[in-house]
Structure 1
Amino acid sequence: MLRALAADPSEWRYGYELGREVGLKAGSLYPILMRLADRGLLESSWESVPVAGRPPRHLYRLTGTGLAAATEVAAPAVEESAAERDRPGTRRSLRGAW
């Protein structure tokens, strides 16, 4: 979730859009978004111009603290990915041997 929001941290995102991107249904997604907001990692706002016939929707984006947390979460994943790529016997490490 944090990685999806960190792709463009200044952009406001709809919960529905985030759920589709990360593969979470509303029953899992919205409690996570609420906890992240309660912990100061997300800010939330109501859309300023609701569409007629539809209730206003919440928008979410990372705070500075949330962006730092997303960076922290992503760093081990990047290191793990690089280690996997360079491990002997993996397809990528064998390319140079051909």
Structure 2
Amino acid sequence: MPTPVRVTTAVSTVLAAFLEDPEADRYGLDLMRASGHPSGTLYPILLRLQKAGWVQTHWEEIDPAVAGRPARRYYRLTPDGLIQARTELAALQAQLSRALGGQTKAQTA
């Protein structure tokens, strides 16, 4: 059974990075740059998203000696993860809009 995901601010920035190009395979350093999170924040989020069934992973098939670097582990949203990411970010956007709208009305009164 998939683990439920609590969509925090940190998780939402990772989901937004995936949604920049939902069909692309993304690797850790790429996601760190896109989300602004260090590895100690990013990788636990990716693990939670993977356990929830929102992200799938695979290892790059290269010869590290020839490539001159280790193989990369790639991450991509699953079809369900794509739906969930869009839904959660839309809900967050609506919540922020309501909160900011409420502040604006209160400040003008």
Return the TM-score normalized by structure 2.
0.69
Aligned length: 91
Instruction: Pick the aligned partner of 2:50 from 37, 40, 49.
Output: 37
The alpha-carbon deviation at position 81 of structure 1 amounts to 4.9
Rounded Cα–Cα distance in structure 1 between residues aligned with 2:63 and 2:28: 15
Q: Which has the higher helix share?
A: 2
The alpha-carbon deviation at position 13 of structure 1 amounts to 0.5
Mapping 1:1-98, distance limit 5 Å: 1-50=14-63, 52-83=67-98, 84=100, 87-88=104-105
- 1:2·1:66 contact (CA, 8 Å) conserved in 2? no
Rounded Cα–Cα distance in structure 2 between residues aligned with 1:85 and 1:15: 36
Which of these two proteins has the greater Rg computed from alpha carbons? 1
Residues 9, 50 of structure 1: alpha-carbon distance in 2 compared, 3 angstrom cutoff: farther
Residues 35, 82 of structure 1: alpha-carbon distance in 2 compared, 3 angstrom cutoff: closer
Return the TM-score normalized by structure 1.
0.75
Query: Structure 2: any 5+ residue segments left out of the alignment?
Result: 1-13
- 1:50·1:57 contact (CA, 8 Å) conserved in 2? no
Identity among equivalent pairs (%): 38
